[in-house]
Each structure stands twice: as C-alpha cells, then as structure tokens.
Amino acid sequence: MNHKNTLPKHLRNLLLAACTALPAAGVARPSGQALAFTCAGCHGTDGSSVGPSMPAIAGMDPEVFVDAMQAYREDKRNPSIMNRIAKAYSDEQLEDMGWFFASQRLRVFPQAYDAALAAQGLELHQQYCEKCHENGGLPGDAGTLAGQWIPYLHYTMEDFINGKRQWPRKMKRKVEAAIEAAGDQAIPALVNYYGSQSSTGPTMTTGTTGASGAEEQEQ
C-alpha cells in the first residue's frame, strides 16, 4: 500500500530531468539578446565588430537587419557563411535580434585611412549618397556606413560592382555618377570617408540638405 503511494522510480527520474531542462523551457522565446550572443564571435560584442572585414551591426536599423538576414536565408545575397547561419532563425527571432542590435550604440575602433581620400569622399558622399545614407552614413534605413571597417566596405562595393550583390533601387545610378565624377578614386574616397568616421575624420558641414532637417526633427 505504501509502495503504491510512492512515485515510481522512472517517473521520478523523468521529473528530475525535466527540472534540469527547465531554464530553457521557462524562457519560451529566447530573447533577442540571447540570440545575438552567437553573432558576437564574428560581429563583436553586441555587434560592434572588431575585425577588418566584418561589418559592424550594432545600432543597425532593425528592418535593414531583417531584410539582410532574410535575403541570406533565401540565398538572395552573396554570402560567406551567413546563408547557413540565417536558415536557423524564424522571422520572429530575426526581428528580436534586429531589435536588440538596434538598441545598441555602435562602438567603433580607430582605423588607418587616407585623409585626402576621405576629404574627397565627403564631397562625393554629400553629392551622391547623403540623401539615402543620411547624416554621413550613420545607422538608418539605408544601412550603416559611418565608422564601418574600410576593408569590409571595399569588399561590399566590389560585390556590387561585380554584380555579386543586387544593387538597391537607384544606388547603381548614383555610384556610377560618382565614378564618372571622380573616376577610380570614387570608391576608395568614399570608403575612406566612411572609415575615417571611426577616428575623427572629415565631418559633415552643417546646413547640408537633410542633415540639418534631421537634427531639427530630433530636437
């Protein structure tokens, strides 16, 4: 009779096993932050990349993040490894991760740049890029350029120009216009300008279309 009231041994073991698994089961949906830990290996702590060819994703626009990840997942964007990683996440998880990175402040590391090219890049940026990559390429709906690693920027532009990555609407036209204006110097100039922003490279003059407006709005 007593034995009948006792929990059978295998049932007890099962319960114990369940208890050890509880930390995972208790958080029904892993937080964006938890999911983002995995990214740190390449993209740096909280997305502030330390490596020269690895883009910084901290402070990134969450929708741009999701777009990129979905494109990788669906093999629509030239990957190194990201296509295989992206397949592991649901849309919801991508949104959570995007939201996490969007709430981080991008931390940048000084990198070597050519000051003359950077100065030329600033001019080109203002003329051809600023309308989409507003505020000198700060994080926004057109991605993050300011403070981005120079080698990464180079690789990316090569991908675009070599047709390995699909141009966003209108970008091809603008890049071609910049190249027409500045020749082979155009891409290095722009890349150096963006890279220079992780140090104290040339900065945007106030009063540029959009920039001043955005500041006004922020106030």
Partner 1 sequence: MPRRIEILPAVCLWIALLGLILFPLASSAATEPVGKPLMPDAELMIDHFDPETGKRIIPNERCLTCHGDKEHQTDVRDDGSPVEIFVNSQQIKDSVHGEQQCTSCHVTIDRVPHRKAPSVIVGCIECHRDTWEAHKDDPDDKYARLEIVNEQIDNFMHSVHAQPSELDQSRTNATCYDCHDGHNIGELGSIQRAEHRLKNPEICGRCHEQALADYRTSDHGVAVMREGDSDAAVCSDCHTTHEIAASKTDKAQLQITENCGNCHEEAQRTYFASYHGQVHRLGYTDAAKCHDCHGGHLVKSADDPTSEIHANNRLENCRNCHENANKNFLSFWPHGDADDRENYPDLWAFKTFMDILIFAVMGFFWIHVLLWLYREIMDRRQGKGFNEDLSQPDVVYFRRFPVVWRWIHFLFAIATMTLILTGTTLLFSHTTWAKAVVEFIGGIRMEAIIHRTAAVIWLSIFILHLILAIRNIRRNRASFKWFGSTSMLPNWKDLKDLRDMFKWFLGMGPRPQFSHWTYWQKFDYWAPFWGATVIGLSGLVLFMPGITSLILPGWSFNIANLVHAEEALLAAIFLNSVHFFNVHFRPERFPMSTAIFTGVIPIDEFKHDHRLEYDRLVKAGELEKHLVQRPSRRASLAASFITTVLIMTGLALLTLVLIGLITAPN
What residues line the site for partner 1 (CB under 8 A)?
2, 5-7, 12, 15-16, 18-20, 22-24, 26-27, 33-34, 37, 44-46, 48, 50, 59-63, 99, 102-109, 130-132, 134-135, 138-142, 146-147, 168-170, 173, 197-198, 209-210, 213-214, 216-218
CB 137 within 8 A of CB 145: yes
CB of 172 to partner 1, least distance (A): 11
Q: What is the sign, positive or negative, of the torsion defined by CA atoms of 108, 110, 111, 116?
A: positive
33 is written with which tokens? 């932050």
SS3 (DSSP) at 207? coil
Choice between 5 and 162, CB closer to partner 1? 5
> Angle at CA 48, nearest 5°, toward 39 and 168?
80
**What are phi and psi for residue 194, nearest 5 degrees?**
-65, -45
DSSP-assigned beta bridge partners for residue 143:
140
Choice between 99 and 185, CB closer to partner 1? 99
CB of 132 to partner 1, least distance (A): 4
Choice between 15 and 88, CB closer to partner 1? 15
In sequence order, the 6+-apart residues with CB closer than 8 A to the CB of 119 are 193, 202
Choice between 22 and 88, CB closer to partner 1? 22
CB of 33 to partner 1, least distance (A): 8
CB of 30 to partner 1, least distance (A): 10
CB 47 within 8 A of CB 58: yes
Choice between 185 and 210, CB closer to partner 1? 210
